[in-house]
Amino acid sequence: MRQDIFKVTTYEGQKHFIQYFQDLIHYMKETGGIPFHHSDDAVFAKYCPDEFYWYYSQMERYGFKEKLLIPDNKIFRYPPYHITECRLCPRDVFGTVGYSVYGDKFMLYIPDKMVIIENKQVAETYRQQFQFDWKRSQPMPVIPVLYEREKKRRDADKRR
C-alpha cells in the first residue's frame, strides 16, 4: 500500500521559469502571503530576463512583497526596494542550490530544473531555516535597481 505524503511538481525546459513565477503570483493573489527566496538572483535575471521582468512587473502591479537572501559575495539588485526586502547571507551557509518557500510549497532550483514539493511540514521546516539565516544576514547596501532600468528601456521600446 502506498500513501504519498507530498505532491511533487517538476518544471523543466524553456518555460519552467514562467510556470514557477505564475505559481508564485497565484499564491500571493490567493493568500496575500510573502514568499521567501534563498537564491542567487543574478542567475535568474541572466537565464530568463523576460520572465524575471514579468514577475516583478506583476509584483509591482499588485503591491506584493517578498523576502530574499542572496550570497554576500554577489552584490546584485534586480527587484525594487518597495517590493523586496533583501539581505546578504554569509556564503559559507548559502549552498549551491537555491530554494523558495511559499504557502505549503518548497521549491528547489537546480539549473534547468525546478522541483516543487508541496507538503506543509517540509515548507515549515525550510521557512524556519530561512528565518534562521535571515537573522544572521546583513542588510543589503543601497545600490541601483536593475528592474527600474529595464522598465525604462522596455517603456522606451514601446513608444517607438
Instruction: Tell me what the mean pLDDT of segment 62-74 comes to.
Output: 93
- pLDDT tens-digit readout, 99-122: 999 999 999 988 778 899 999 999
Instruction: Tell me what the mean pLDDT of segment 39-43 comes to.
Output: 80
- pLDDT tens-digit readout, 76-102: 899 999 999 999 998 888 778 899 999
Residues in the chain: 160
Domains present along the chain, CATH in parentheses: 7-159 (3.30.870.10)
| 95 contacts 110 by C-beta, under 8 angstroms | no
- The model's pTM is 0.90
Choose among 87, 36, 105, 32: nearest CA to 66. 36
| 66 contacts 35 by C-beta, under 8 angstroms | yes
Choose among 2, 11, 8, 3: nearest CA to 109. 11
Q: In what order do the strands lie in the sheet with 66-71?
A: 7-12, 113-118, 105-110, 98-102, 36-38, 66-71, 84-89, 138-139
